[in-house]
Chains A and B, each alone.
Chain A
Amino acid sequence: DAGVIQSPRHEVTEMGQEVTLRCKPISGHDYLFWYRQTMMRGLELLIYFNNNVPIDDSGMPEDRFSAKMPNASFSTLKIQPSEPRDSAVYFCASSYSHEQYFGPGTRLTVT
């Protein structure tokens, strides 16, 4: 298996622009997680899905953030409009039990 796939690996955008991050979980996994990592706050859980249904979105910073999982093999995290404080590395992870497997991350820079 190729593992969790994320795209793009790097994204540089200007403040106010819409950003869409993409994730393909490991086949057969029924949980999908979106995390954000910064030096100041470490790894933060933003939202997670079970069988394509959002279970807990309490970590989503504000209404500018939204996430979807239209099917078992694809999820998106969208930021609209983006702000400089959104600059971070965003990770997607998937699991079918207790063990979560992470993708390589998307490094987002908002100028």
Chain B
Amino acid sequence: GQQLNQSPQSMFIQEGEDVSMNCTSSSIFNTWLWYKQDPGEGPVLLIALYKAGELTSNGRLTAQFGITRKDSFLNISASIPSDVGIYFCAGQTSGSRLTFGEGTQLTVNP
């Protein structure tokens, strides 16, 4: 089946630093989604991307849909302590089924 490789698995950064994480796949996706999960909660949708090459921002978050449609990245600028959590990418081909990456655990040191 389809698989997403998400990297890095974990990141430890200082408050104020920028963060970048990405997902790659051997398969083409039509939609890329980025979620954040806080401890004890469900994943929350951050950004949705629908077109190859699309670059979308949501506050300090920026995500891009790769030109090849096989990858996507998420950047967080000027990190703050509340950015701590697990970030998941998810890809969608046809229909509604999502394929999730393994997640990136982000720790921000004040």
Binding site for B on A (CB under 8 A): 4, 31, 33, 42-43, 45, 48, 50, 55-56, 91, 93, 95, 98-105, 107
Contact = CB atoms under 8 A, between A and B. Distances in A.
A91 B42 contact: yes
Contacts of A55: 95
Interface string B74-101: 0000000000000010101001111010
The 8 A-B residue pairs with the shortest CB-CB distance, nearest first, are A102-B42, A43-B100, A98-B31, A102-B43, A31-B96, A105-B42, A104-B42, A99-B48
A65 to B, nearest CB: 18
A101 B35 CA distance: 10
A42 B41 contact: no
Contacts, number: 47
Given A98-B33, A98-B48, A99-B33, A45 B42 contact: no
Question: How many interface residues does chain B have, given as a range?
Answer: 20 to 34
Contacts of B35: 102
A45 B96 CA distance: 11
Contact of A42 (B33, B96, B100): B100
Contacts of A102: 35, 42-44
Contacts of A99: 33, 45, 48
Contacts of B100: 42-43
A101 B45 contact: yes
Contact of B96 (A95, A104, A105): A95
Given A98-B33, A99-B33, A45 B45 contact: no
Contacts of A93: 42
Contacts of A101: 45
Given A100-B33, A107-B40, 8 more contacts: A43-B43, A50-B96, A95-B96, A98-B31, A98-B96, A99-B33, A104-B42, A105-B41
